[in-house]
Chain A
Amino acid sequence: MAEVLVLVDHVDGTVRKTTAELLTAAARLGEPSAVFVGAGFETAQAALAQHGAVKVYRVDDPAVVDHLVAPTAEVLAHLVGQVSPAAVLLPSSPEGKEIAARLAIKTESGLVTDAVDVQPGEGGGVRTVQSVFAGSYTVTTSVTKGSPIVTVKPNSIPVVEAPAAAAQETLTVPLSEQATAAKIVERKEKAASGRPQLTEAAIVVSGGRGTGGDFGPVEAFADALGAAVGASRAAVDAGWYPHANQVGQTGVQVSPQLYIAAGISGAIQHRAGMQTSKTIVAINKDPEAPIFELVDYGIVGDLFQVLPQATQEIQARKG
């Protein structure tokens, strides 16, 4: 069975949930081989084994880590040449998509980004499903050229546990001069909020213009549910919440089990970032707000009344 390469998404060895999703998808196409770049392999190995990585290619050359996407693309291109994988799967993060882009040109392989499903193609290759035009269309695509390269959106693939060996194979790839031309000269880690990552969270609570700048009730409600906190572009542009939390076309695209929009009207820019959520709830004063067209449950009302009451009720139910 042909190998399927999965680029591991991790922070110093702590493997992100997207990687388990990619390994699960990889097992549908062939034999999953993880590609681990950076420090912290010992921490990562167990998580990779748990989700089906038969092999782990390990690259800890600091030159790969200190530079932007180009060196990782060279590492993957080297592996593609070596093992002719049935597919290469990467996370749909900005880095993942850019590595995929360079890899596609280097290896002359078809590329699909932001897939929400990945299956074997009928006549070989890979068949993907994407959600496009702000989630208003579903597109099915087959990739047959080269070693199909697919970036997969977080929260799209239900994770299956499949214990495997995760046998390590250390890899040294000589990098070109060009690969190290863009250098990361400074990195400031963001302070941990204690809340789940926006793209991975099962529940997301977002606030918009209707918060008037006070995200207190939104955050308290999110914490009662163990949710991540998002914000609309209007709230971010007003300086009320960090851009990193912006849900929408120019921010983060999320697809959680439950999305709650508080004081957000639901402009196309916002819908593009959340329309594929499984269950959608909205609280808004304006009964005509377009967000209500999307909801499973909506409350026409003041979020400053509704959210604190709901927070209290949830805490009471949890005891």
Chain B
Amino acid sequence: MNIVVCVKYVPDAQSDRSFESDFTTDREAVDGLLSELDEYAVEAALALNEAGEGGEVTVLTMGPEDAADAIKKGLQMGADKGVHVLDEAIAGSDAVATSLVLAEAIRKVGPVDLVITGLASTDGAMSVVPAMLAERLGLPQVTFASELTVEGGVARIRRDGDTASETIEASLPAVVSVTDQINEPRYPSFKGIMAAKKKPVQTWGLGDLGVDASLVGLAAAWTTVEGVQARPPRAAGEVVTDEGQGGQALAQFLASRKFV
């Protein structure tokens, strides 16, 4: 199958992430990497094609120059080619504009059977781009998959909610998002790392996609961030060492706060 995996280059969640003066995410101050949750999407695509009749896995990202690292990681894992949408006008794009650019890039890649994404980015964490892509591309969505199989042109997933577990089917082509329960992403092998250097990566600007620059970027966003505030550090609480009465002390604390 021909599969496009949408990936995002994000600031490392282990670092102290912050904002620029225009309230966009600061993508310079801390090191970036392929969003951890997108590794599951890359793995899912590779596993499908290894088990099936083959086809190409394309890793697609949009973002600044450094975002090429996210593509590189996908190629090292085993994807066949990369597409990087790189254009200064994109900076500050919200999910709406992101989905517009990605949808046009997917169209340009050519006929695809599946578009696979992670369940959320680890920075914006909205989980809305897969549904927006499905809407824009006119495709069915089968999202938050904890299991994914494709047979006879039908994608079938298991989606675990808080009150029920559902099996959902849709004919290809479809948009699929996968959770971190679906697989165990592989580490790139030495061979994979060497092979990745020879794999094709195309860099496209908005002009290549036919996207009007006025529709993307911070100024085009349909929402306006008015302010960003660091959460005040929580007042230091009381920490005691259990010397045999810790449980009673805990019950006493909860009673004093009216929880008992």
Other-chain residue from B140, B169, B230, B257 in contact with A137 (beta carbon distance below 8 A):
B230
Chain B residue numbers with a CB within 8 Å of A305 are 242, 246-247
| B213 at interface by CB-CB < 8 Å | no
Q: How many angstroms from the CA of A189 to the CA of B249 in the assembled complex?
A: 40
The interface on chain B, measured as residues whose beta carbon lies within 8 A of the other chain's beta carbons, has a size of 84
Other-chain residue from B142, B162, B247 in contact with A309 (beta carbon distance below 8 A):
B247
Q: How many angstroms from the CA of A178 to the CA of B136 in the assembled complex?
A: 12
User: Cβ of B180 and Cβ of A105 under 8 Å apart?
Assistant: no
Other-chain residue from B160, B224, B231, B247 in contact with A306 (beta carbon distance below 8 A):
B247
Q: How many angstroms from the CA of A11 to the CA of B161 in the assembled complex?
A: 12
Contacts A141-B226, A299-B240 hold; do A98 and B162 have CB atoms under 8 A apart? no
Q: How many angstroms from the CA of A314 to the CA of B256 in the assembled complex?
A: 12
Min CB distance B104 to A, Å, is 14
Q: How many angstroms from the CA of A133 to the CA of B12 in the assembled complex?
A: 11
User: Cβ of A94 and Cβ of B143 under 8 Å apart?
Assistant: yes
Contacts A113-B128, A134-B13, A136-B231 hold; do A146 and B222 have CB atoms under 8 A apart? yes
| A57 at interface by CB-CB < 8 Å | no
User: Cβ of B128 and Cβ of A309 under 8 Å apart?
Assistant: no
Name B's interface SS: mixed
Q: How many angstroms from the CA of A281 to the CA of B141 in the assembled complex?
A: 40
| A301 at interface by CB-CB < 8 Å | yes
Min CB distance A91 to B, Å, is 11
The interface on chain A, measured as residues whose beta carbon lies within 8 A of the other chain's beta carbons, has a size of 95
Other-chain residue from B166, B224, B250 in contact with A144 (beta carbon distance below 8 A):
B224
A interface with B by C-beta (< 8 Å) = 11, 68-70, 73, 93-95, 97-102, 104-106, 108-114, 127, 131-146, 178, 181-190, 197-199, 203, 225, 243-244, 249-250, 252, 257-258, 268-269, 272, 279-281, 283, 287, 292-302, 305-314, 317-318
Chain B residue numbers with a CB within 8 Å of A140 are 225-229
> Beyond A102-B135, A186-B166, A190-B163: 15 further Cβ-contacts under 8 Å?
A94-B143, A99-B131, A108-B222, A111-B223, A133-B123, A145-B222, A187-B166, A188-B165, A189-B163, A189-B164, A244-B162, A279-B259, A281-B250, A296-B234, A299-B241
User: Cβ of B226 and Cβ of A294 under 8 Å apart?
Assistant: no
Type the 1/0 row for B103-143, where 1 means its CB is closer than 8 Å to any CB of A. Answer: 00000000000000001101101111111101110111111
